[in-house]
Chain A
Amino acid sequence: AQSVTQPDIHITVSEGASLELRCNYSYGATPYLFWYVQSPGQGLQLLLKYFSGDTLVQGIKGFEAEFKRSQSSFNLRKPSVHWSDAAEYFCAVGTGGYQKVTFGTGTKLQVIP
């Protein structure tokens, strides 16, 4: 069975600083990987996804993520954080087929002025 680990429960960064959110997955085959963002009391919005091809994936809102098979990682990055990026971020791994998607426990991002 697949699993996802987001080791950082909470991260605080200053506005304008760079950001990296960590995600490690466990899955025997080539995974389908996702990053979603959730504002309080809202649904999840897809930031980006990786299925195959280029291991550096560009997403919305200036986010990118890099798939590293050797490290089983799919870390999310942004070069300069804005106050509006404060939210909870979820990494997820899918298996294709009916696409059972397993979510990590999330990382809450706080942005300070």
Chain B
Amino acid sequence: DGGITQSPKYLFRKEGQNVTLSCEQNLNHDAMYWYRQDPGQGLRLIYYSQIVNDFQKGDIAEGYSVSREKKESFPLTVTSAQKNPTAFYLCASRQGGRTDTQYFGPGTRLTVL
């Protein structure tokens, strides 16, 4: 099956620890995205990548880092510098053409204790 997978579905971490969220796609999409979702705030863009080895900050990049070493993978690290990391994190990918659509993974819920 083609699609986007995110793991784990639930993640618990102690305050001050870094944590990495996985996002993998087998759709052969060029672009990948990370969003953060909080209740009542919609989705906010953290980072995006249009091609391998290149990525740009989104609207709320502070306290997060990413890498794009392979086309199919775009892991997100939530660092200890992120002041309020508890949230639902969504990964998306898109083919890359002007009118192409973003498709979303199932999400990872991160809870920092």
Contacts and interface: CB of A to CB of B under 8 A. Distances in A.
Interface residues of B, number: 28
A103 B59 CA distance: 12
The B contact surface, by secondary structure, is: strand
Given A43-B90, A104-B42, A99 B104 contact: no
Given A9-B40, A98-B50, A51 B99 contact: yes
B107 A42 contact: yes
B42 A103 contact: yes
B66 to A, nearest CB: 15
B105 interface: yes
Interface in B59-104: 88, 90, 92, 94, 98-104
B48 interface: yes
Contact of B109 (A41, A96, A98, A101): A41
Interface string A61-104: 00000000000000000000000000000100000111111011
Interface of A: 4, 9, 32, 34, 36, 41-46, 49, 51, 90, 96-101, 103-106
